Amino acid sequence: MAEIMMCEPVELYNLLNQSSCVSRLAEINYLCLIDASEAQDYRTSHIITAKNAKMDSEGTFVLPEAVEVDSMRHVVVYDSSTSCLEEQGRALECAQALAKASLSPVKIVRGGFQRFSALYTFLRTEKILYTIMELENLKTYPVEIISGRLFMGDQRQGMDSSILKDLKISAVVSISESDALKCINGNQTILNIPVADSVMSDLYSSFESICSFIGSHINMDSRVLIVSKQGRSRCSAVTIAFLMHHLKYTLEEAWSHMLKCKPNMRPNTGFLQQLSDWELHTMGAKVTDICDHGF
């Protein structure tokens, strides 16, 4: 039987917004998201791509049809408001049924639909069925690095006014060879850092000013988005540098945190060396061995 654990709404938000060329929600074995609420509540509104849990004639939750739970990488369930594992309710009962078949931990969203939908209103829907093409074309949002404060994404997301509005973004850091983000239609403050995604490029000399810029906005309770062209190398290097500066993380700690938020993030080797030098600057020593197989 798989382990049952709680997860924060931000973890589900990030799972829903992973992408490569298209949304990962189009992958058959990526995410099993189950809404354990009453059918009437589910039909009124639920989280995008969630399936409503079914019960048998004896009132026991059964496994969802046409879903191979044992092959799913992520299994997540929620009800209206369950907040802990000691709280008996529909989410826990459903999770126990799923855990009998799942090989991955079964996670219950803390606070349920009420809390998740309050944080991410734009991810609520009444839509029940999706085609593969619809899943592939689902809009993905920047991943959330520091809850309610720091987000990271690609240049397309940084130029999407609806995304900036939904996430209430006040400032954008763009690491790009172009200044395309100057044409954003909004009131965001833009910091453009003209750096190419090359192992020879110098990001290190901009770390201090970038961290100061981000920190000043976060300290005013504003939300900041960091973007680069594909949202994998340059912006992840800058985000890691900020975590090291702002939260006093070692490089290894910041790296691990980033992998949880965006597993396919990958600063190039030149930026990795600069992050190691930044660790010396912020920590007073190179604590992390970047030659380790984890990097």
How far is the CA of 161 from the CAs of 66, 115, 157, 182, 284, in angstroms? Answer: 37, 25, 8, 13, 41
Query: Does residue 291 belong to any structural domain of this protein?
Result: no
Neighbours of 216 (CB within 10 A): 13
83: containing domain: 4-136
pLDDT at 172: 96
Residues 198 and 87 in one domain: no
Instruction: Judge whether 271 lies within some domain.
Output: yes
For residue range 181-202, list pLDDT tens digits in order.
655 666 889 999 999 999 999 9
* pLDDT tens by residue, 106-121: 999 999 999 999 999 9
The domain spanning residue 20 has which CATH number?
A: 3.40.250.10
Which domain-ending residue is among 136, 160, 191?
Answer: 136
Asked which of 113, 136, 159 is the last residue of a domain, the reply is 136
Pairing, β 4-7 against β 106-109: parallel
Give yes or no: residues 151 and 104 share one domain: no
221 pLDDT exceeds 80?
A: yes
Do 123 and 175 reside in the same domain of the chain?
Answer: no
Q: Are residues 196 and 68 in the same domain?
A: no
The Cα 49–Cα 285 span in angstroms is 46
